[in-house]
């Protein structure tokens, strides 16, 4: 499955950080990003945890991120 256009490295890194995953937001598809994506998939979609970002991975991450209240300043 191809990576969705909206799931460039910086986008998925921001989503995962917002959800609470410890990830450096480098904007690069590096081993750390693949490892964190794999951990996310193992938790939220254990049937497929390749570490590759697909539409379902992005959809789950977006849904979870939307549920987190935006901090008031």
pLDDT tens digit sequence for 27-68:
999 999 999 999 999 999 999 999 999 999 999 999 999 998
pTM assigned to the model: 0.83
d(CA 53, CA 68): 21
Res 41: pLDDT = 97
């Amino acid at each position: 499955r191809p990576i969705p256009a909206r799931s460039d490295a910086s986008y998925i890194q921001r989503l995962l950080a917002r959800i609470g995953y410890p990830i450096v937001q480098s904007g690069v598809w590096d081993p750390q990003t693949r490892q964190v994506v794999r951990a996310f998939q193992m938790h939220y979609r254990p049937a497929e945890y390749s570490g590759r970002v697909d539409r379902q991975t992005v959809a789950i991450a977006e849904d979870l991120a939307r549920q987190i209240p935006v901090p008031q300043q």
